[in-house]
Every structure is written in structure tokens, then in C-alpha cells.
Amino acid sequence: MLLLPFIRDNKETTLAGLKKKRFANAETAVEQVLALDQQRRDVQKELDDVLARSNAKAKEIGALMKAGQKAEADAAKAETAELKTRSKELEESLKTAEQQLQEVLVTLPNLPHSSVPEGRTPEENEVVLQHGEIPVLPENALPHWELIKKYGIIDFDLGNKITGAGFPVYRGKGARIQRAMINFFLDEALKAGYFEIQPPILINEDSGFGTGQLPDKEGQMYYATEDKLYLIPTAEVPITNLYRDVILPDDQLPVKNVGHTPCFRREAGSWGAHVRGLNRLHQFDKVEIVQIRKPEESYQALEEMSQYVQSLLQKLELPYRVLRLCGGDMGFASALTYDMEVWSAAQQRWLEVSSVSNFETFQANRLKLRSRVEGKTQLLHTLNGSALALPRILASILENNQTTEGIRIPKVLVPYCGFDTIN
């Protein structure tokens, strides 16, 4: 959530940032925030004045009673009663103004970092770098949805029978390579200094609000109505919420957590020919890295996280590129996001496999996640990244490594799989 004092003191900067994020009706929303803020401050000022006068009258009544001036004391009591009635009215007005202000504030996305390029669509994202050789496949090369049928490693029909579309069943070597990737990603994260967490995969509304999924993305999450719990879209949500309402001492910073979870996304309205097979699922596995840093360290940490994710792709021998997302393609809570995309040789297209983002104080403000500096608290910065999401990684491994003898497994995964070829 944006900081109210910043909006108040930097109206034009706020407007420019919201427009870069392509937030509709930015001027109206900011003017509404400022008007409600002024209303809240005016009511607070009057309430403080009424309470001060009421306290003064209470002392005056005591003095008058002590002096035997009963008539004057009774008059002061009547005035005190009026002040108490007025204070209750003002308290209700203040509560209403604060609620209305909060309702508008939570709709505002995070402001983009100065390095975020202008743009509205994914085509306007900035290519930061490209790494690796694009593989050349034989003319009879198959897309991964045909390869998984050929080798019987994933069954979409069984998943559809059990649950519905977008819930595949992994079989035999398909299941084993899933487990291999999860263990490989977790082991690499531990080597890089991350602390492993296994969080719940259901969250309450406060957790969804804390990381910015609510009230922005409730339509994309599965909801258990009886218990009012949401299935997580990513491990970022429960792991970051471990630190909700926490003041972290310096000796516990930086926080570097990693966790593997299944992830659940409704992906409403996103189906079509371009999302066949593993390209987009309702349930998938992902290993997530989360960091909590001091503000002055967070952008260096973001670069380190980007380099770390790239190192995984290099070890998997996958050609990839790094994008800096433009303002219109960024997530609601992000200040700067790098996307990593791998080349899918049979589909002849780039597939996003990771987003690494710095949220600055946006999530921390919602979470009330702070540190203490020289006796004062300050909001910390939160960051997270996919390291990595499995489905599209597997799709690219299958397509890029297909040969006449079968599908070659990347060398780093062979010790985890126990086999070097799918055939």
C-alpha cells in the first residue's frame, strides 16, 4: 500500500507513477485520497480540541465543587456532557473517514521504479540480455504436448477426469523429473544461503491483503467458502506473511527464505491455442525465493536474485532472456520486475518461467513489517522470485532436448532423476 505522507507531499510524482502503471482514473483517485485525508485530519483536529476542552472542564468542575460554587459546577457539567456527545459524533466521523480513505488507498498499485520503461503491453518490455544458443531441431520435432503423449509421462485426460482441465497427472518418469527439479531447485537455494520453509497452502484474508493479492486478484484465486480460506497462487504469500506485524532486529536481517509449494490459479478467461499443454495450468509446482531487506540494500538484492535465477537456467542448459517489464505489464504490488523467459524450440516462442520483483515498502506497509533504527521503526523492503516454476521449464526441457533416441535430461538433473533419457 502506498504511503499516505508520500502521496500528500509528492502528488505529481504519484500521478506520474500511476499513469506509467496505466492505472485508470489516476487523477480522480489521488484527488479523492487527498480530500479524504484532509477531511480525516480536520476531524482529528476538532476531536483533539473537543477532548482537550472536555479534560479542562473536568478539572474546572473539581475546582468549582471544592470552592462550593455548585451552580457554576452544574453549568460546567452540562457543557461537559455536550462536549462528550460531540466527541462521540467526531469519533464516528473519524472512523468513517479513515475507512473511506483506506478503501481508496488499497486500490492504488505500487509506483514503478524510475528505471521501469514506458509501455502498456508485453511487446513493450525491455530485453535486458539474452543468453545461450537457440537449438535447431529436426523437421519432425514435436511440441511438448505431443512428446508427453508419445512417452506417456503426463496425462491430461486423467487429470480432467479426476478434477478438470488444467490439472495434469504426472506418471513414471514424468513424476520423477518433477521431483528431481524440486529437489535440485531447493538444494541450489540452500547453497545460496536461503532458509527452507514449508508453509501452509491455504491462507486467510489478512494474508492475501498483506501481499497485495486482495482486494486486487480475488477472482484469480480458488476460495474455500465454508472456511473463508484461499488456495495460494504462490509460496510468496504465506512465506512473506510469516513476518506480518513483526519488528525484525538488525541481527535477523537480511531474511532469505525458500519454499516449495503447489500453486493454484483460476486463470479465468486465459485459455486458447497459445496455452496448450504445460504452458498454463490451474495447479503447478514452484520453488519460490523471498527476501526481506533494508531499503538501501533492496535493489542490489534484486540484481543478485536475478543472477541467481539465471544461474539455474544456465545449469539446466536452457537458452533464456531477461526482460525489464514496462509499466503497463507489471504486477499490482511491484516497483520493478525482471521476467526470465526460456526458448521453447518446438513452439518457436519464449515462455516466461520466473518473475523477480522488488516491492519496496508496498507489501511491508500492509504487513506492518518493520525494523528498528536508532529507536525508531522503519518499513522494510520485500522481494520475491520464482526459482523456478516447473511446468514451462519441463516443456522447454522436453522440446529442446528431443533426439531420435529420446529426450535427453540435463546433466544437473540426472543424479536427482536416476536416468539420463526419457524413451
What whole-number distance in Å separates Cα of residue 238 and Cα of residue 221?
A: 14
Q: Does the pLDDT of residue 269 top 60, yes or no?
A: no
User: Does 73 share its domain with 167?
Assistant: no
Eight-state DSSP code of residue 410? P
User: Does 66 share its domain with 126?
Assistant: no
User: Does 40 share its domain with 65?
Assistant: yes
User: Does 261 share its domain with 338?
Assistant: yes
User: Does 19 share its domain with 62?
Assistant: yes
User: Does 77 share its domain with 210?
Assistant: no
27 is in an annotated binding site: no
Mean pLDDT of 32-37: 97
Give me the CATH number covering residue 92. Answer: 1.10.287.40
Whether residue 111 is contained in a domain is answered as: no
Q: Which pLDDT band holds residue 174 (cuts at 50, 70, 90)?
A: very high
Which of 75, 105, 135 finishes a domain?
105
User: Does 66 share its domain with 142?
Assistant: no
Whether residue 314 is contained in a domain is answered as: yes
Mean pLDDT of 44-53: 94
What whole-number distance in Å separates Cα of residue 289 and Cα of residue 305?
A: 8
**pLDDT, position 74:** 80
103 is in an annotated binding site: no
What whole-number distance in Å separates Cα of residue 212 and Cα of residue 334?
A: 9
The sign of the torsion formed by the CA atoms of 303, 305, 307, 310 equals negative
What whole-number distance in Å separates Cα of residue 231 and Cα of residue 212?
A: 15
Q: Which pLDDT band holds residue 274 (cuts at 50, 70, 90)?
A: low
In this predicted structure, which of 34-43, 186-195, 210-219, 237-246 has the lowest mean pLDDT?
Answer: 210-219
Which of 105, 139, 155 finishes a domain?
105
Whether residue 404 is contained in a domain is answered as: yes
Q: Which pLDDT band holds residue 273 (cuts at 50, 70, 90)?
A: very low
267 is in an annotated binding site: yes
User: Does 260 share its domain with 337?
Assistant: yes
**pLDDT, position 270:** 52
Task: Find residue 259's DSSP bridge partners.
Answer: 288
Mean pLDDT of 28-56: 95
- pLDDT tens digits along 177-220: 999 999 999 999 999 999 999 999 999 999 999 999 998 778 89
22 is in an annotated binding site: no
Whether residue 228 is contained in a domain is answered as: yes
Whether residue 114 is contained in a domain is answered as: no
- Which of 330 and 66 is assigned the larger pLDDT? 330
171 is in an annotated binding site: no
265 is in an annotated binding site: yes
What whole-number distance in Å separates Cα of residue 115 and Cα of residue 14?
A: 15
- pLDDT tens digits along 304-356: 999 999 999 999 999 999 999 999 999 999 999 999 999 999 999 999 999 99
Whether residue 56 is contained in a domain is answered as: yes
234 is in an annotated binding site: yes
What whole-number distance in Å separates Cα of residue 230 and Cα of residue 239?
A: 15
**pLDDT, position 127:** 98
Q: Which pLDDT band holds residue 272 (cuts at 50, 70, 90)?
A: low
- pLDDT tens digits along 119-136: 999 999 999 999 999 999
User: Does 141 share its domain with 83?
Assistant: no
**Cα 242 off chain centre by:** 14
With CA atoms as reference, report the closest residue to 236 among 310, 114, 115, 332.
332
**pLDDT, position 310:** 98
For 195, 216, 297, 334, 351, the CA distances from 292, given in Å and listed in that order, are: 12, 23, 10, 14, 28
Whether residue 116 is contained in a domain is answered as: no
- pLDDT tens digits along 137-159: 988 899 999 999 999 999 999 99
User: Does 128 share its domain with 58?
Assistant: no
User: Does 199 share its domain with 288?
Assistant: yes
355 is in an annotated binding site: yes
Beta carbons of 117 and 324 less than 8 angstroms apart:
yes
Q: Does the pLDDT of residue 422 top 70, yes or no?
A: yes
User: Does 175 share its domain with 34?
Assistant: no
Q: Per the structure, how many domains does the chain have?
A: 2
Give me the CATH number covering residue 243. Answer: 3.30.930.10
- Which of 113 and 373 is assigned the larger pLDDT? 113
Domain that holds residue 357: 122-422
Whether residue 115 is contained in a domain is answered as: no
For 36, 90, 94, 98, 277, the CA distances from 41, given in Å and listed in that order, are: 9, 11, 9, 10, 55
